[in-house]
Amino acid sequence: MKKIILLSIIYFCCESVFAQKSATNILKIQVNKTRHIALGTNGASVDIEGYDGDDLIIEAITDKFPKTVPEYAKGLNRIPLSNRPKEDNALGYKLLQDDSLLYQINITTKCKYLHIKVPNHLYLFSIYANDGSTDSYLAIKDLKGAFQTEGSIRTTYISNVAGPFKVYSRQGKVVLYNILWKDNIEWPFSSLNFPSPYIINGGSSDVFLSLPEDLKANISFTGGEIYSDMNLETGPKSTLTLNGGGIKITTFSGGYSFQHATFYIRKQK
Amino acid sequence: MKLIILFFAAIISAQNVTAQSSPKLVNYSLKNKKDHLVELTITGPSLYIEGYDGDDLTIEPYNIAPSKNIIADSLGLKNITSLITPAFRLQQEQAPVIKEYTDRVLVNFGVSFHEAFLIKIPRNTHLKLSATGSKDRKVVLKNLTGEVDVRGAMPLIEIDNITGPLTVNSNAVTTSKIIISNIKFKNSPLNDGKALLYLSSFMSDFDISLPEDIKANVNIKVDNGDIYSDMDIVKTYGASNNLNTISGKINGGGAFISIISTYGNVAIRKQKE
């Protein structure tokens, strides 16, 4: 009997140790930097960073985030779901398009976290990320060159990039900080007729935009509520100007009062 | 004594400041229409809905203290929306449309720019509410003994002191919550075999308080969230083999409770007295 109890204790100890151990899997894809590279992800938080290499490096890391109990559920017991699929670091992709202009793939994984290194100075990089999980996020940092993001994810972070960029979030939060704003930057193509090098489509999101206090900028709006601690002044055609105007930032919002974006424009600290 | 009188006077004054009522936008008699379903569709404002012992459905603008409406993210910032030419804004308030059929009354507000409505409705009304609002809006619904069906996309739905059956279907696509408390359920033939609670959401979390002695069969499916409880849910293992699902009985089983959420969590707790 003692042996059985001892074996059971050892088994449960081993199981809990293995359950917390994270496992990593890496996928490298060689890309042609003169093409538009587009990635799709589903059900994962994603960190993207630019680097001076030639390969797309996708890393799936399991058990990246410890399980947290929401405040309102503290004091209650979590009921285990015995048949819930386990997180898995298996990594693959489905090729959607591969021609002279566009290389588009959907990453397939049951991993909840992906770290993706993207070569700097691609013709254009796009990421379509979808994950409605409570703490899901997409973060893009240190990426040189044109990029665009789109998706339904709880929070999108953009930092230390010069653009041009187009960020589209249907809902949730968008946080833009330490942006390397430049007044001479342009999209590498004219066919899409983008209105400016910096486009933020908030949908019904909360958009947190930090700007240097001395930045000269024109920010255009199509709707939404705007809050700020900066000295923004009314300009022509639904535009606010900062320090007399300069670089163009274009924002979009959901059209009706009940689904508009809210823009929080703050002095960058 | 003076202090007590002063204290009550201060409370009454504060209540008047924080919840001043305005002329009624709807005053519609539901006398002798007990079996009618009232379908209410409103987009925009917060809704404070109360069952009461009268015969009329009344809807009026509800002035809430401004401090309760400040969005935490905007602290330290000024609202400068008015600096932009409001050409794109819908400012035209539509009059409510009311239609009566043999078995139902439809009240449609469309999009309203009011902050909030106070809605009083006969306590035993069967209510079907469709409400959508932005991030600082909510629905507070209480004191109803009829069947209640709440749909739409509101960031916060609070339902208190109802008998059910209750159906909630939240399409909110952002962080949102549904709180249900003080369910006074009596299993009777009038319930017609309907579920006591039939709840579904895309992203909303559920925080549900149930009477400790409730006899219920529960079926909960959370595709991505978790389930928390302090109640003794005895799993029925065959049904619990479904993906991301638990099925079980509380106090031996009885009323049916179904909860489905794609991204939300579910908390089921004992009702505190």
Q: Is the CB of residue A140 less than 8 Å from the CB of residue A147?
A: yes
Percent pLDDT > 90 in chain B is: 56
**Phi and psi (nearest 5°) for A158?**
-130, 125
Is A44 a residue whose pLDDT tops 60?
yes
Whole-number pLDDT of residue B32: 87
Query: Residue B83: pLDDT band by 50, 70, 90 thresholds?
Result: confident
Query: Residue A256: pLDDT band by 50, 70, 90 thresholds?
Result: low
Contacts of A67 in chain B (CB under 8 A): 226
Q: Considering only CA atoms, which of A156, A182, A171, A188 is closest in space to residue A247?
A: A182
Question: Distance between CA atoms of B44 and B204, rounded to whole angstroms?
Answer: 19
Q: Å from A122 to nearest chain B CA? A: 33
Whole-number pLDDT of residue B111: 82
What SS3 class is residue A111? coil
Cβ <8 Å between A259 and B244: no
Query: pLDDT tens digits for A202-223?
Result: 988 899 999 999 999 999 998 8
**Phi and psi (nearest 5°) for A220?**
-100, 150
- Residue of A74, A76, A253 to mutate, testing the B interface (most B Cβ within 10 Å of its Cβ): A76
Whole-number pLDDT of residue A87: 87
Query: Residue A86: pLDDT band by 50, 70, 90 thresholds?
Result: confident
Mean pLDDT confidence for A70-95: 90
ipTM over 0.90: no
Task: Read off the pTM.
Answer: 0.83
Amino acid at B248: G
Mean pLDDT confidence for B252-266: 93
- Residue of B81, B249, B263, B272 to mutate, testing the A interface (most A Cβ within 10 Å of its Cβ): B81
Cβ <8 Å between A225 and B79: yes
Question: Distance between CA atoms of A201 and A263, rounded to whole angstroms?
Answer: 11
Listed by start position, the domains of chain A span: 1-67+88-159, 162-269
Cβ <8 Å between B83 and A240: yes
- Contacting residues for B1 by C-beta, under 8 A, at least 6 apart: none
Q: Is the CB of residue B25 less than 8 Å from the CB of residue B98?
A: no
Distance between terminal CA atoms of chain A? 65
Cβ <8 Å between A75 and B230: yes
Query: pLDDT tens digits for A142-191?
Result: 999 999 999 889 999 999 999 899 999 988 899 999 999 998 899 988 77
Give B90-125 as a DSSP string: ---PPPPEEEE-SSEEEEEEEE---SEEEEEEETT-
The answer, for B8 touching chain A at a CB cutoff of 8 Å, is no
Question: Distance between CA atoms of A108 and A2, rounded to whole angstroms?
Answer: 46
Is B92 a residue whose pLDDT tops 60?
yes
What SS3 class is residue B85? coil
Query: pLDDT tens digits for A63-81?
Result: 888 888 999 999 999 998 8
Contacts of B135 in chain A (CB under 8 A): 206, 262
